[in-house]
Structure 1
Amino acid sequence: MGYISLINGVIKRRFSLSVIKSEMVRIINVAEKNDAAKSIAEIMSGGRYRKREGFSRFNKIYEFEYNILNNNCTMTMTSVSGHLLNLEFIGQYKKWYSCNPVALFDAQVQKYCPENYVDIKRTLEREVRGCSYLIIWTDCDREGENIGFEVIEVCKAVKHNIPVYRAKFSEITPEAIARACRNLSQADKNTSDAVDVRMELDLRIGAAFTRFQTLRLQKLFPSVLGEQLISYGSCQFPTLGFVVERYKQVQAFIPEPFWKLKVQHKVEDKAVEFMWKRNRLFDYLSALALYENCIENPSASVIDVQSKTKSKWRPQALDTVEMEKLASRKLHISAKETMQIAEKLYTKGFISYPRTETNIFPSEMNLVGLVQQQTQSPVWGDFANRVLEHGPQPRNGKKTDKAHPPIHPTKYTGNLTGNEEKLYEFIVRHFLACVSQDAQGFETTVHIDVAEEKFHVSGLMIIARNYLDVYPYEKWNAKEIPVYQQGDTFTPCLIELDGGETSAPPLLSEADLIALMDKHGIGTDATHAEHIETIKSRMYVGLRPDGRFVPGQLGMGLVEGYDNMGYEMSKPNLRAELEADLKLICEGKKNKDAVLTAHVQKYKEVFIEACKQALKIDQAVAQYIGEDPVSLSENTDAAAGFGGLESMPMTVMKCPQCGSDMQLKSKKNNKGYYIGCIGYPTCRKAVWFPDSVVEARVSDNTCPQCGPDVHRIEFKFKRGSVPPTIPLEYIGCVGGCDKDLEEALGIDNLARRPSLNGSSEHDSGFVSGGNRMSQIGGSTRSYSTNVAPIFSESQMRGYSSQSLARGNNSQNLLRGNNSQNISRGKSHENRKVVSNFQGNINRTPQSSVLGTSLSPSQSSYNTNMHGSPSVRPGISRTPLSSVGNTRNNLPVSGNNGSNETVCNCGNAAVLLTVKKEGPNKGRQFYKCSNSGCNFFLWADEAPAGSGGSGSQSQTYSSNPRGFQSKQNQGSAEGIPNCNCKQEARRKKGQTRVDNSMGVLNQEIRVVVSSSGQMKKVAEEITTKEVEVVIEKEVLKRVALNEGLQETEESLKQRKEESAVCVERKRFIWTIDFSIFIWTIDFTERFIWTRDFTGKIHLDNRFYYKDSSGQEILLERFIWTIDFSVKIHLDNRFYWKDSSGQ
Structure 2
Amino acid sequence: MSCTVLMIAEKPSLAESITKILAPNGRYNTRKMTSPVHEYSAEFRGAMCKFKFTSVKGHVYNLDFTREYNDWNIDPLELFTARTAKQEASKSGSICHHLQQESKAIDYVILWLDCDREGENICYEVIKNVRQGMKQSPGDKDSRILRAKFSAITATDIRKAMDNLIYPNENEALAVDARQELDLKIGCAFTRFQTKFFNRKYGNLDSNVISYGPCQTPTLSFCVSRHDQIKSFSPESFWTLSVSVAKQGTNGEQSGPEINLHWGRVKVFDKHVATIFQNMVRGNKEAIVVSISSDKHTKNKPHALNTVELLKFGSSNLGIGPHETMVIAERLYTQGYISYPRTETTSYPKNFDIKSVLKDQSGHPLWGLYAKELLEKGFDWPTGGTDAGDHPPITPMRVAYEGDLTGDSWRIYNYITRHFLGSISPNLKYQKTNVTIKIGIESFECSGTKVLQPGFSSVMHWRTMSDQIMQEFNQNEILKIIDVRLVEGQTSPPDYLTESEVITLMEKHGIGTDASIPVHINNICQRNYVTVQGSARRLVPTNLGIVLIHGYQKIDPDLSLPTMRSDVEKQLNYIASGKAKYADVLDHSLNLFAAKFKYFRDHVAQMDELFEATFSTLASTGKILTKCGKCKRYLKYIALKPVRLHCPTCEETYSLPSNGHIKDYKGLQCPLDDFGLVSFSTGSKDIGYPLCPYCYNHPPFENIRKGC
Instruction: Give deviations 1:658-681, integer Å, cap 9, x for gaps.
Output: xxxxxxxxxx99xxxxxxxxxxxx
Q: Contact conserved, 1:368 with 1:391, CA < 8 A, in 2?
A: no
> Which residue of structure 2 aligns with residue 165 of structure 1?
146
> Which residue of structure 2 aligns with residue 53 of structure 1?
32
| Pairing of 1:858-1007 with structure 2 (within 5 A) | none
| 2:597 aligned with 1:617 | no
> Which residue of structure 2 aligns with residue 600 of structure 1?
590
| Pairing of 1:114-513 with structure 2 (within 5 A) | 114-116=89-91, 118-159=93-134, 161-162=140-141, 163-221=144-202, 223-225=203-205, 228-267=208-247, 269-414=256-401, 415-513=404-502
Could you tell me how far 1:396 is from its partner in structure 2? 4.5
> Which residue of structure 2 aligns with residue 34 of structure 1?
12
For residues 448 and 628 of structure 1, the distance between their equivalents in structure 2, rounded to whole angstroms, comes to 68
Could you tell me how far 1:227 is from its partner in structure 2? 7.3
> Which residue of structure 1 aligns with residue 56 of structure 2?
80
For residues 580 and 65 of structure 2, the distance between their equivalents in structure 1, rounded to whole angstroms, comes to 26
Q: Contact conserved, 2:205 with 2:615, CA < 8 A, in 1?
A: no
Q: Contact conserved, 2:322 with 2:518, CA < 8 A, in 1?
A: yes
Could you tell me how far 1:197 is from its partner in structure 2? 0.6
Could you tell me how far 1:632 is from its partner in structure 2? 13
Could you tell me how far 1:122 is from its partner in structure 2? 1.1
Going from structure 1 to structure 2, the CA distance change for 1:543 and 1:390 (only over 3 Å counts) comes to same
DSSP 3-state at the match of 2:461: coil
DSSP 3-state at the match of 2:352: coil
Going from structure 1 to structure 2, the CA distance change for 1:358 and 1:533 (only over 3 Å counts) comes to same
For residues 290 and 609 of structure 1, the distance between their equivalents in structure 2, rounded to whole angstroms, comes to 59
Q: Contact conserved, 1:68 with 1:181, CA < 8 A, in 2?
A: no
Residue type at the aligned position of 1:317: A
Could you tell me how far 1:242 is from its partner in structure 2? 1.1
1:538 to 513, 527, 552: 527
For residues 571 and 157 of structure 1, the distance between their equivalents in structure 2, rounded to whole angstroms, comes to 46
DSSP 3-state at the match of 2:91: helix
For residues 158 and 234 of structure 1, the distance between their equivalents in structure 2, rounded to whole angstroms, comes to 39
2:576 to 552, 567, 586: 586
Could you tell me how far 1:184 is from its partner in structure 2? 0.8
Could you tell me how far 1:403 is from its partner in structure 2? 2.0
Could you tell me how far 1:383 is from its partner in structure 2? 0.6
Going from structure 1 to structure 2, the CA distance change for 1:629 and 1:269 (only over 3 Å counts) comes to farther
Going from structure 1 to structure 2, the CA distance change for 1:190 and 1:176 (only over 3 Å counts) comes to same
Gaps (5+ residues) in structure 2? 248-254, 621-645, 654-671, 674-700, 703-708
Residue type at the aligned position of 2:31: R
Residue type at the aligned position of 1:429: R
| 2:88 aligned with 1:113 | yes
Could you tell me how far 1:158 is from its partner in structure 2? 3.7
| 2:543 aligned with 1:553 | yes
For residues 459 and 583 of structure 2, the distance between their equivalents in structure 1, rounded to whole angstroms, comes to 51
DSSP 3-state at the match of 1:412: coil
| Pairing of 1:841-852 with structure 2 (within 5 A) | none
| Pairing of 1:1074-1113 with structure 2 (within 5 A) | none
Going from structure 1 to structure 2, the CA distance change for 1:240 and 1:450 (only over 3 Å counts) comes to same
Going from structure 1 to structure 2, the CA distance change for 1:445 and 1:105 (only over 3 Å counts) comes to same
Could you tell me how far 1:133 is from its partner in structure 2? 0.8
Could you tell me how far 1:145 is from its partner in structure 2? 0.7
Going from structure 1 to structure 2, the CA distance change for 1:251 and 1:135 (only over 3 Å counts) comes to same
Residue type at the aligned position of 1:369: S
For residues 493 and 207 of structure 2, the distance between their equivalents in structure 1, rounded to whole angstroms, comes to 37
| Pairing of 1:613-652 with structure 2 (within 5 A) | 613-627=603-617
DSSP 3-state at the match of 2:390: coil
DSSP 3-state at the match of 2:447: strand
DSSP 3-state at the match of 2:355: helix
Residue type at the aligned position of 2:299: K
Residue type at the aligned position of 2:72: W
For residues 392 and 504 of structure 2, the distance between their equivalents in structure 1, rounded to whole angstroms, comes to 21
Q: Contact conserved, 2:121 with 2:176, CA < 8 A, in 1?
A: yes
Could you tell me how far 1:521 is from its partner in structure 2? 1.1
Structure whose CA Rg is larger: 1
Which range is displaced more, 259-268 or 452-461? 259-268
Could you tell me how far 1:629 is from its partner in structure 2? 7.3
Q: Contact conserved, 1:317 with 1:394, CA < 8 A, in 2?
A: no
DSSP 3-state at the match of 1:184: coil
Superposition TM-score, scaled by structure 1 size = 0.52
For residues 121 and 556 of structure 2, the distance between their equivalents in structure 1, rounded to whole angstroms, comes to 36
Q: Contact conserved, 1:298 with 1:451, CA < 8 A, in 2?
A: no
Going from structure 1 to structure 2, the CA distance change for 1:189 and 1:405 (only over 3 Å counts) comes to same
For residues 117 and 154 of structure 1, the distance between their equivalents in structure 2, rounded to whole angstroms, comes to 15
Going from structure 1 to structure 2, the CA distance change for 1:445 and 1:84 (only over 3 Å counts) comes to same
Going from structure 1 to structure 2, the CA distance change for 1:117 and 1:180 (only over 3 Å counts) comes to farther
DSSP 3-state at the match of 2:131: helix
For residues 261 and 66 of structure 1, the distance between their equivalents in structure 2, rounded to whole angstroms, comes to 80
For residues 477 and 130 of structure 2, the distance between their equivalents in structure 1, rounded to whole angstroms, comes to 85
DSSP 3-state at the match of 1:376: coil
Going from structure 1 to structure 2, the CA distance change for 1:259 and 1:554 (only over 3 Å counts) comes to same
Could you tell me how far 1:544 is from its partner in structure 2? 2.1
> Which residue of structure 1 aligns with residue 43 of structure 2?
67
| Pairing of 1:632-1031 with structure 2 (within 5 A) | none
For residues 144 and 491 of structure 1, the distance between their equivalents in structure 2, rounded to whole angstroms, comes to 71
DSSP 3-state at the match of 2:68: helix
* Higher RCO, Cα 8 Å, sep 6+: 2
Could you tell me how far 1:392 is from its partner in structure 2? 2.8
Q: Contact conserved, 1:539 with 1:552, CA < 8 A, in 2?
A: yes
Going from structure 1 to structure 2, the CA distance change for 1:117 and 1:264 (only over 3 Å counts) comes to farther
DSSP 3-state at the match of 2:481: coil
Could you tell me how far 1:525 is from its partner in structure 2? 0.9
Identity of aligned residues (%): 34
For residues 225 and 479 of structure 1, the distance between their equivalents in structure 2, rounded to whole angstroms, comes to 53
Q: Contact conserved, 1:86 with 1:112, CA < 8 A, in 2?
A: yes
Q: Contact conserved, 1:89 with 1:110, CA < 8 A, in 2?
A: yes
Superposition TM-score, scaled by structure 2 size = 0.83
| 2:554 aligned with 1:564 | yes
Residue type at the aligned position of 1:341: I
- Say how many residue pairs are matched: 615
Q: Calculate the aligned-residue CA RMSD, in Å.
A: 2.3
> Which residue of structure 2 aligns with residue 960 of structure 1?
none
> Which residue of structure 2 aligns with residue 930 of structure 1?
none
For residues 119 and 257 of structure 2, the distance between their equivalents in structure 1, rounded to whole angstroms, comes to 61
Could you tell me how far 1:274 is from its partner in structure 2? 1.9
Residue type at the aligned position of 1:353: Y
> Which residue of structure 2 aligns with residue 514 of structure 1?
503
DSSP 3-state at the match of 1:500: strand
Q: Contact conserved, 1:165 with 1:185, CA < 8 A, in 2?
A: yes
